[in-house]
Structure 1
Amino acid sequence: MKTLPSSLRRLLLSTLLASTTAFAGGNITFSTEQAYPEGIAWSATQKVFFVSSVHQGVVGKVTLDGRYTPFIRDEKLISSAGLHLDTARNLLWVAIGDLGASVRSKPENQGKLAAIAAYDTTTGERRAYHDLGALIEGGHFANDITTDPQGNVYVTDSFAPVVYRIDPKGTASVFAKSDWFKGEGFNLNGLVYHPDGYLLVGKYNSGELFRISTKDPSNIHRVKLNDTLVGADGLLLRGRDRITVVQNAGKDRVLDVVSHDGWETATLQPAKATAQSFPTAAAVVGKDLYVLNARLDTLFSAEAPKVNEFVLQKF
């Protein structure tokens, strides 16, 4: 057998080692300098994950073999948080805020910014930008996003007790408001649209889950749970009767929540621990669930060493 040149052997070995790292245990590891991604969205067309960045603001792409490339660099992206892929309109919606942890943070924005932007998923060109915080007084942080079949976009604000809506014509408004959404620290966080015509919205600090009618936003129901979901971050609809919840705030786990009565009540299923700290969001690729370990605890701790490597953990 012909011996391969040493340079080619080294190249093949490095490629093999990179692949082994990226797919260790089925997980996908990617590196990018202190990005601290909070949101993810899977594109079946492009075969990539879109990932946000609390620290850099940049929206990047991650392939299944763990290669990261920057995709959207926009001065509007202070901290990019939740992402939502609007396949019907070929748009990537990005939630924007400022927690004072971004290289682009400004004193006048910190805790006061709630915005959302839409980008062409092919070119990365910005198609829309909405300053949602201007709709209501107080503190603001745009956190997560979902859409309904009519083309309405819904956004949570973790510091204001509201859910916003942008209609198909581009008009932004306060959609739902309630004293139930008030509290200390982070309040409303993850949300999903349910095909029966309502939103399911998690409240981070109290662990509550709310059902909000999209036809009558004053119809807000607190889902009766058998336990609280304190630290509930990303929500993912897995069927009419099941959502997957990603928890952090020291929980660092992923679990399913199941309802058999139209989300009047729901039951927490056994949880699985994440490999690393502060998981924030999840995405489905085929039959596989991938959970993003965002490591945000190391970003917000002045003493903690900062990290450049992040894991999409396969469950």
Structure 2
Amino acid sequence: MLETLVDAACALPPLRTAVVHPCDPASLAGALQAQSRGLMQAVLVGPRARIAEVAQQAGLDLAGTELIDAPHSHAAADRAVELVRDGRVAALMKGALHTQELMQAVVARESGLRTGRRMSHVFALEVELYPRTLFITDGALNIAPGLLHKRDIVQNAIDLAQATGVATPKVALLSVSEEVDPAVTSSLDAAALCKMADRGQISGALLEGPLAMDNAISPQAAAAKGISSPVAGCADILLVPDLASGNMLVKQLVYLSGARTAGLIIGARVPIMLSSRADGVAARMAACALAQRLLQHRAAKP
């Protein structure tokens, strides 16, 4: 499914992207491979000598690729954000630096890329035993989001799912069970988010919650528990209670189930491709395809 997304995105104009501190073989190869496939026009931002050394050691060709010298990772993040603000690039891609380093530049109040919506991270996963792309949010950025933050997190994920062709995404709001329990904050938030969707504060999707994980993705589990819902058992989007649970869920799917994944931060002025340092080239290319589709989706909106 993710490879199909990449193939389709190759037909779109390449996305001019600042690749921040691509100083390891995985991040540099991912950017250059995406460029060779026509997914992006890479602007490498980081220490020129170090990037050239990595390219030489990995057998990568930098000919024809723009490179903007920055002495270290913090400076590279600041310079990449400046390129966005100047209109020189339309997206960012994380290289070999910590997420916190990049996000410090992105969220800076005066010089960053804030919008009126909370930024959040969405994983798109291809899981062999699940028949559709599964979007999980937020397992990488917001540590313990409150209700209003979750509203933005859900809307960001809905926008991305729609950009990939899911007209009306089905959103499962995860908790420990399908029952609202005053002692379990995630169940209260789930119930409130459903009412917010009823009132138009969240749009474009079907929401159901609280739901336990099995009820969200297994029709058999949902039927056994008597849950009648168009979302239960066939969710497109999983909203997790907090960063820790989302991060563990995604890594379990990747390392125990062989899931393929790509990640994107949404809610900034431009999409931010936030691959893990352990991700390979395929994950970085899929993230680029997601960013392309999201920008195309935004441009098509009236």
The TM-score, its normalising length taken from structure 1, stands at 0.29
Which structure is richer in relative contact order (CA contacts within 8 A, separation 6 or more)? 2
